[in-house]
Chains A and B, each alone.
Chain A
């Protein structure tokens, strides 16, 4: 009995952590998988010598586990007659919130490619939602305000990132391995290549 005390203690801890909803990270931490096999991918995206703002980057991983249900929903805000952000990247199956935070009405729609929808007109404070259930690029417009435009890139992987104002990006918790990467920005062609987790930061340059 005395010799089994650590095993019994571990079992009690596992049952308790599962009941309290901290099972996945605690289990992963206890098993040492995250520390040993996953790391953050850092990189930069540039257009010649300028930062490629609004660039999105993703790694192919079609068999990756599903997202955590508690993750916050991605948002494409309508604010000051502008879609914010200008480019949104989401995983296949994601529900995107489209709140109207302007006093004027908006009418969000996508007709050209990717997910096709028309949300109709809705006033300030109201919210509509769209499930992006197929990979691809959706071009988003407002049928009332022709200057409003945005892009939603839907990808079949949990490993993606959006470049910041300096062109820097970070893809979190990428398991060790070799990946095909893709990068896209408005008005440019997609850039593809391979990246291995032991090859350091990823540097993307559009000519």
Chain B
């Protein structure tokens, strides 16, 4: 599947007429960054997406990323993609979106990110944060951004209230992958004026082998956003058990400021906390972190992101860090 997607993406970037779909867009993004965690990273993504003549949509994304050092205790640049120096298919799905009488019915099948909380790669990777929230980092045994599903996802409702259900099997990328088995996820989302609120519940397999992490994993989350005048307040709270005998509770709240007088600058700030308690040898972790940063859209194709972080509660990680990254992207349609 990787080869097929790679050829498809490259063909479309070079010449969009290579595809016979009614509409097709190909996109490439390259990111280079450095962190004072003594780490540099390079990442590239290729995407192809569009719509067939029958109003069915498709989306495919390939990712390659590497860091200058392996086995380093840092989640720098781990916002939405794995850094395993290999080509990974991130998402590859077909989708039908229908609007009967103003309602919304969407059916998605294939390989996709689990729709738990504020979940999509677009939310995390592009807002200006170079690191995922701790509750989205695979090593902390919560709902990782590198979790992927092979399955079916159905969303139904009206714009102000949608219900989503997904069933499938784990198909994760990166170093921390869930065991096989069946997954189920339900999400309800409401939208009214300046508020968007969602509740998600997921039952899945643990990341670690059964000898270390017995039983099943189960998480419940609440997420909310409020927006006004170019200011967005956003937060997510997750509680659950990554395996029998362990609990993980965490949250983050961030503010994203993008007022029109700020031009190409988006300012961001985040506070977060994660408490992980295990009755096994995995041990306990209580981590707190604050992040300040900005993303500057230098041109239509180039953006610069800078983050300053302070972390406490986990001696494995450096308490302070500065991350800087450049992203260059090009689109062909």
Contacts and interface: CB of A to CB of B under 8 A. Distances in A.
Contacts of A35: none
A146 B260 contact: no
B319 interface: no
A16 interface: no
By secondary structure, the B interface counts as strand
A109 B258 contact: yes
A82 B258 contact: no
Interface stretch (A3-11, A116-124, A165-173): A116-124
Given A80-B49, A124-B104, A118 B123 contact: no
Contacts, number: 98
Given A125-B99, A147-B27, A80 B127 contact: no
Nearest to B108: A103
B297 A146 contact: yes
B303 interface: yes
Interface residues of B, number: 49
Interface in A98-124: 101, 103-105, 107, 109-112, 116-118, 120-124
Contacts of A122: 191, 196
Given A123-B196, A147-B27, A103 B155 contact: yes
A28 interface: no
A116 to B, nearest CB: 4
A149 B303 CA distance: 14
A81 interface: yes
Contacts of B97: 101, 103, 124
Interface string B175-208: 0000000000000010100101000000000000
A29 interface: no
Given A118-B260, A123-B159, 8 more contacts: A80-B49, A82-B23, A103-B108, A105-B123, A141-B297, A143-B258, A145-B122, A147-B25
B122 A111 contact: no
Contacts of B327: 146
6 contacts: A80-B23, A109-B260, A111-B260, A122-B191, A123-B189, A141-B297
Given A80-B50, A124-B106, A125-B159, A118 B258 contact: yes
Interface stretch (B2-10, B129-137, B223-231, B239-247): B223-231
B122 A144 contact: yes
Q: Interface residues of A toward B: which range?
A: 20 to 34
A118 B227 CA distance: 10
B92 to A, nearest CB: 15
A38 interface: no
Given A123-B159, A146-B329, A117 B122 contact: no
B93 to A, nearest CB: 10
Contacts of B263: 111-112
Contacts of A117: 260
Interface string B200-236: 0000000000000000000000000101111010000
A105 B228 contact: no
Contacts of A111: 260, 262-264
